[in-house]
Structure 1
Amino acid sequence: MNILLLNDRYPPRYESSVASITYGLAEQYKKLGHKVTVLTSHRKNVSKVILREEHVISLPVEYRPSLRHYKSLRQKQVSAMLEEEIKRIAPDVVHAHNLHMYLTYDALRIAATYAPKVFITMHDVMSFHYGRLATGRYLASGGEKVHTNWFDHLDEAGLQWNPLRNKMILRALGHVTRVIAVSTALKKALDAHGIPRTCVVQNGIDIASWRATEQEAADFRRAHALEGKKVVLFGGRLSRDKGSTPLLHALSVVKETVPTVRLVVIGDPGRWAGLVQEAGVGSEVTNYVQCIDWLPKEKMRAAYAACDVVTTPSLCLDTFNLMNAEAMANSKPVVGTCFGGTPEVVEDGVTGYVCNPLKEKEYANLLSRLLKDPELAHKMGRAGKQRVEELFTVERQAEKYVDLYGMQ
């Protein structure tokens, strides 16, 4: 098949979880013998013209981010470039992975003109909301009440709210063969907002590339003065929706029974400092925390290998959270959130624990249990490794997508 992948950002110029997933799929499709082209974008400080690098075509697209809820729908110049490229490529399948910034939703209409099948994978809730889904109703219901309304959208977007945005996105999705969610939790939310023809294909990772050696783990511990410590790993695009406050409050409990505990945070130190202040904790807690700035992949996998427990306490519909699978690839147990897709990845009581982080005492007890019982942690870690090898590989993900492409 001649497969065209669309994504706003693509490595190595831009890094993100969705970019890495798209890259992994492109490489896997090539291994399966398919012809692959990637259509992406770059900012004009990189180049003011279209860039062509092997199988990757990058369009120059730039505007003020505050206009995204208008500009992400359609831009005349972007549509003209898209039409010229897609017509020339003449793909059998066009598969977009998120389109809510630069390539625009109009890419779906254009794709349907020149390709017999068009798919889009939703990796977040931006097709119907204006940020992470973390409404009071959603959190109070344990993640059951996923519907949002115009007031939620206005509350999230403020002056950037576009009252026609969601209707125009739905119209664009009318050109799509299938809308794919990366978790059942996300599919439920898409369905609740009237998004048509949904199905689920869960994310996968390149397991071998995420596994670190014992030496890499030892070097990481030594470099960050973690020898002899019980390490809890937390990271990502740091925000309150990622669960920083309940995590810090839980840490204040854990340190009382596990005095060697260290919370290692991977992410922007400036943002983390603000979140610590927001959580209202002092040095009696922060003395047990170490924030390390963003790490390249080879260092990040060493961080997984060096820790004792990984935690993903999101307070939003975190659709999949790749940290769960990456931790399991390194045989580490996960204490994860009940919100979003984590319960579909982490098997509660088998590969770690699933809990409501807002129940901070319960959350703290689960972290402490694993830190104080290395045998249990190792058992759950081994079970997680087996689970990720069976269910969450990029090979399996690519095969499922190819099967979907071939369906009538």
Structure 2
Amino acid sequence: MKIAFLTPEYPNKKTGKSGGLGTSILNLATGLVKLGHLVSVLVYQQKKDTIFEEDGITVYQIKNIKIKGLSLLLTQQKVQRLINKLYAEKKLEIVEAPDWTGFTAFLRPKCPLVIRLNGSDTYFCHLDKRPVKTKNKFLEKRALQRADGIISVSQFTADVTKKLFDLKTQITVIPNSIDIAKFQPKNIEAADATILYFGTLIRKKGLLELPFIFNKINKTHPNAKLILIGKDSGDKQTGSNSTWELMKPLFAGEAFKNVDYLGLVTYSKISEHIDKATVCVFPTFAEALPVSWIEAMALKKAIVASNIGWAPEVIDDGLNGFLVHPTNHKVYAEKITKLLNNAALRQSFGGAARKKVEETFAMEEVAKQSLNFYKKFLK
């Protein structure tokens, strides 16, 4: 089969910065290639138009057309021409796109187009309890209505999206995946008690709750360290251009001495930091199905994560991690402390977590599920 992914981000030094969406596409694309299928990735919002190949995946970089008031429409038409050209040349049979801001709302490709729900702007605004731009909601709804099929990375995201857009379409749940071969646990846990968060520093991921949680831990474990890895982000609620700057004054004086923000780390280095961590924490308010959780689980890490919505689809509370509401600082800190104090419990959680990843989130398995979905739309 010949599959193309349309995306605004992709994790490669040539295509620029990427978050969880790009990583999930790379993992799925890699799984499809390993199963013997041809994969293309069409990345818009690029600085130039060019093509390159890496690890069996053909990547098309697409430069946006910038004309005031017409940029989106003209770029969509440019992407449509490329898709139809590749389809005519028999280089693709089906295209998958994300739901974010409804880029495909006015595309008319000659091949089937499916959308995978990783969380639309409307979805995240709903979870954040903030207003969504009317334009974005309109485009996202139109894109979903026009799609030949819809996949969701979690049942929670599917249910919320259907309600928000009043969709009658059937949605198939296929989770995100990782290449477990790249996440082999080395069991080199650091000597010090190290708590690791990796991901974007942003309010919706609970980063403004984390200082209060760590302050409580510092009182009972004054030597515990908090390591933060990820891109700093602005904060819409306050207008600040840095969530990290908002976090700093929330730490108690003694606790802040044990906090280390490393900024962005290359994807290839993330596993090294996870390996050394004692506990990984994800106090997020808004996700679809986070790849970062799965990566930590694959490396047999004990996790304390949010208990909201999608969470039980990833972690079974008390079996392969703990789930706690991010605003319940006392209980969240107690669960982390319990893991810091109990190596046997950390090992038990880690072993169960790895097993779940192998059974549920391995990229080859997810690739097979995706292929079965795509086949429904091919003649």
Alignment TM-score, normalising by the size of structure 1? 0.80
Residue 307, structure 1, aligned to residue 307, structure 2: no
- Describe how 1:86-97 pairs up with structure 2 within 5 A: 86-90=83-87, 91-97=92-98
Q: Could you say which residue in structure 1 is the equivalent of 2:115?
A: 120
Q: Could you say which residue in structure 2 is the equivalent of 1:138?
A: none
Out of 182, 185, 194, the residue aligned to residue 209 of structure 1 is 182
After TM superposition, give the deviation of residue 229 of structure 1 in Å. 1.2
Out of 250, 256, 267, the residue aligned to residue 286 of structure 1 is 256
After TM superposition, give the deviation of residue 77 of structure 1 in Å. 2.2
Rounded Cα–Cα distance in structure 1 between residues aligned with 2:104 and 2:254: 49
Out of 20, 31, 34, the residue aligned to residue 31 of structure 1 is 34
Out of 170, 194, 202, the residue aligned to residue 231 of structure 1 is 194
After TM superposition, give the deviation of residue 191 of structure 1 in Å. 1.4
Rounded Cα–Cα distance in structure 2 between residues aligned with 1:384 and 1:52: 38
After TM superposition, give the deviation of residue 36 of structure 1 in Å. 1.9
- Describe how 1:32-47 pairs up with structure 2 within 5 A: 32-43=35-46, 46-47=47-48
CA separation of 1:168/1:357 partners in 2, compared to 1, >3 Å: closer, same or farther?
A: closer
Q: Which moved more, 1:195-204 or 1:228-237?
A: 195-204
After TM superposition, give the deviation of residue 10 of structure 1 in Å. 2.0
Query: Could you give the per-residue CA deviations for residues 46-69 of structure 1, whole angstroms, max 9, x where no partner exists?
Result: 32xx212232212111659xx9xx
* Contact 1:181-1:202 within 8 A present in 2 as well: yes
Residue 367, structure 1, aligned to residue 336, structure 2: yes
CA separation of 1:377/1:165 partners in 2, compared to 1, >3 Å: closer, same or farther?
A: closer
> What is the one-letter code of the residue matched to 2:37?
H
Q: Secondary structure at the match of 1:37?
A: strand
> What is the one-letter code of the residue matched to 1:2?
K
- Describe how 1:372-387 pairs up with structure 2 within 5 A: 372-387=341-356
Query: Could you give the per-residue CA deviations for residues 192-251 of structure 1, whole angstroms, max 9, x where no partner exists?
Result: 11133322111010011123535xx47xx5xxxxxx311111121101221123322122
Q: Could you say which residue in structure 2 is the equivalent of 1:144?
A: none
* Contact 2:101-2:136 within 8 A present in 1 as well: no
CA separation of 1:385/1:129 partners in 2, compared to 1, >3 Å: closer, same or farther?
A: closer
* Contact 2:7-2:42 within 8 A present in 1 as well: yes
Q: Which moved more, 1:305-314 or 1:19-28?
A: 19-28
Q: Could you say which residue in structure 2 is the equivalent of 1:140?
A: none
* Contact 2:100-2:120 within 8 A present in 1 as well: no
CA separation of 1:10/1:168 partners in 2, compared to 1, >3 Å: closer, same or farther?
A: closer
Q: Could you say which residue in structure 2 is the equivalent of 1:146?
A: none
Rounded Cα–Cα distance in structure 1 between residues aligned with 2:44 and 2:138: 25
After TM superposition, give the deviation of residue 169 of structure 1 in Å. 2.9
The percentage of aligned residue pairs carrying the same residue is: 22
Q: Which moved more, 1:299-308 or 1:337-346?
A: 337-346
Rounded Cα–Cα distance in structure 2 between residues aligned with 1:355 and 1:63: 45
After TM superposition, give the deviation of residue 268 of structure 1 in Å. 4.3
> What is the one-letter code of the residue matched to 1:52?
I
Q: Secondary structure at the match of 1:299?
A: helix
Q: Could you say which residue in structure 1 is the equivalent of 2:303?
A: 334
- Describe how 1:33-112 pairs up with structure 2 within 5 A: 33-43=36-46, 46-47=47-48, 50-54=49-53, 55-61=58-64, 75-90=72-87, 91-100=92-101, 104-106=103-105, 109-111=107-109
After TM superposition, give the deviation of residue 8 of structure 1 in Å. 1.2
Rounded Cα–Cα distance in structure 2 between residues aligned with 1:263 and 1:369: 16
Q: Secondary structure at the match of 2:208?
A: helix
Residue 388, structure 1, aligned to residue 357, structure 2: yes
CA separation of 1:300/1:105 partners in 2, compared to 1, >3 Å: closer, same or farther?
A: same
* Contact 2:123-2:161 within 8 A present in 1 as well: no
> What is the one-letter code of the residue matched to 1:9?
E
Rounded Cα–Cα distance in structure 1 between residues aligned with 2:302 and 2:219: 21
Q: Could you say which residue in structure 2 is the equivalent of 1:148?
A: none
Residue 343, structure 1, aligned to residue 315, structure 2: no
Rounded Cα–Cα distance in structure 2 between residues aligned with 1:406 and 1:41: 26
CA separation of 1:99/1:259 partners in 2, compared to 1, >3 Å: closer, same or farther?
A: closer
